[in-house]
Amino acid sequence: MPILIIIILGVVLVGGLGVVKVMKGKKHGKPEKKPVELTLWKMEEFTVNLADSDEPHYLKINMVAEIEGKKEEAAKGGHGGESEASPVDIKASDIVISVLSAKYFEELLTEKGKDKLKSDLIKNLNKSVPGVKVTNVYFTSFAMQ
pLDDT tens digits, residue range 37-82? 999 999 999 999 999 999 999 999 999 999 998 776 555 444 444 5
More confident residue, 89 or 71: 89
Q: Tell me how far the alpha carbon of residue 5 is from its chain's centroid.
A: 60
Read off the pLDDT band of 3 (50, 70, 90): confident
Indicate whether this model's pTM tops 0.95. Answer: no
The count of other CB atoms within 10 Å of the CB of residue 46 is 16
